[in-house]
Structure 1
Amino acid sequence: MPEFINGLPVHALVVHAVVVLVPLSVLGAIVIALWPAARRRFGWLVVGFAAVATILTPIATSSGEDLEKRLPESDLIKAHEELGDLTIWFVLGLLLAVTALMVVSSLPADVWTKPVVIVLAVLSIGAGVLAGVHVYRVGDAGARAVWDGIDQQPAR
């Protein structure tokens, strides 16, 4: 995989896709968990967003490791990397929860489906909140690694 595209690090490009798709997936998970009409209409779209975010997450991690090799050692970068390495588990949990919710919701209504849908809806909301908070923490650590101390640099 190339490390740069048109002079920009691949990591910065892919990370921005993840940073958009995960919150959209989280918002979508909450909406489809709480609103059955939205689940019928947009549920599979939410699954698609979560799937693309899940696919892009290891690419973001790998490209970040490539970029890290070009930079001087930093505790801030190390903290960002450690959090970034965990992201796949949060995003994968969200994907599995919303996929299970959609699969069970798509089954014919039966006595057992309603309680299972409720449990999966709660799990989807929980997985979404966890994924959203984690992606925020990773992004905050990355921003600190990039921008910490920039206000103290001399102006050009």
Structure 2
Amino acid sequence: MDLDIEIDGWPRSHDWADLAERACEAAEKVAPELANQRLSASVLFTVDEEVQTLNREWRTKDRPTNVLSFPMMTRAELLALAPDGGPEMLGDIALAHETCAREAADKGVAIERHAMHLVLHGLLHLAGHDHEISDGDAETMEALEIKALALLGLPDPYGDRDNQELA
């Protein structure tokens, strides 16, 4: 999958584009349907105000949130997508800096680690996974996130499946 990454309002002290690319590579390993070379997605690292506007306009929730995902195809369409053909836009992801920074601080983790998790989370939403449908769907999505983060050497962000740091 090809990512179109835009960074606006996040500190330049970290390579957010590289972080998103690494998250994408891990997501492709745990959700191989994302590895289709025809796919592209946009990732916007932005500020709370912009995410709040998107959340209000598209979800009628007038507040910022950590990450928003806007899929442009259904899971069935993604799974049926042939490897040959023209490019296909999977969807868009937007991360809110202030909310991500606050959540990372509350969790006692680096913002880079939290942002990595949120990019993975967003990509899995674009792939049609949804933790809000049922407990079973939530467990499936969390397991994929945990597995992808483990591939990146990061621990279980939920703390209920693996209580040890992963190498």
TM bucket, shorter chain: under 0.3
Structure with greater strand share of residues: 2
- Asked which structure has the greater CA Rg, the reply is 1
Structure with greater helix share of residues: 1
Higher RCO (CA 8 Å, separation ≥ 6 residues): 1
